[in-house]
């Protein structure tokens, strides 16, 4: 798991080395629910990408992962290990972008 890789060291001295992500349900607007997938860089706690959808599904997470800038060095991405973050598709897409999500 990513938490094991991070070893509870949530600080880093370089950007794009350790990231966290989550999906958040937003307030209802006109009786519609909206969800935001965001990725935060632990270097400076900046949100480096975010996607919004009216569906809390794999598509939302996939579009968010695609927005993470490609890095030649490996990136650690920590999540709460919910169902969207443990799927085979998630691990495959992350691997294509040099992102460690174990």
Mean pLDDT over the full length of the chain = 88
DSSP state of 86: S
Here the CATH number for the domain that contains residue 38 is 3.30.420.10
Per the structure, the complete domain to which residue 9 belongs is given by 2-100
What pLDDT, on the 0 to 100 scale, is given for residue 44? 96
What pLDDT, on the 0 to 100 scale, is given for residue 102? 64
What pLDDT, on the 0 to 100 scale, is given for residue 8? 73
Which residue, chain included where needed, has tokens 């370089």?
A: 14
pLDDT > 90: what percent of the chain?
57
Q: What is the 3-state secondary structure (H, E, C) of 12-80?
A: CCCCCCEEEEEEEEEEEECCEEEEEEEEEECCCCEEEEEEEECCCCHHHHHHHHHCCCCCCCCEEEECC
DSSP state of 87: S
Residue 86 pLDDT > 90: no
What is the number of structural domains in the chain? Answer: 1
Residue 75 pLDDT > 80: yes
What would the pLDDT profile of 35-74 be if each residue is shown by its tens digit?
999 999 999 999 999 999 999 999 999 999 999 988 788 8
Tell me the mean pLDDT in the region 68-97: 88
What pLDDT, on the 0 to 100 scale, is given for residue 1? 43
């Amino acid at each position: 798991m990513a938490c094991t890789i991070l070893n509870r060291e949530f600080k880093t001295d370089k950007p794009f080395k350790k990231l966290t992500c989550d999906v958040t349900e937003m307030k209802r607007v006109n009786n519609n629910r909206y969800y935001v997938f965001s990725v935060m860089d632990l270097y400076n706690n900046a949100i480096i990408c975010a996607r919004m959808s009216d569906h809390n599904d794999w598509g939302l997470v996939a579009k968010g992962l695609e927005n993470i800038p490609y890095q030649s060095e490996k990136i650690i991405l920590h999540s709460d290990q919910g169902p969207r973050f443990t799927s085979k598709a998630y691990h495959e897409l992350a691997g294509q972008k040099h992102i460690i999500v174990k």
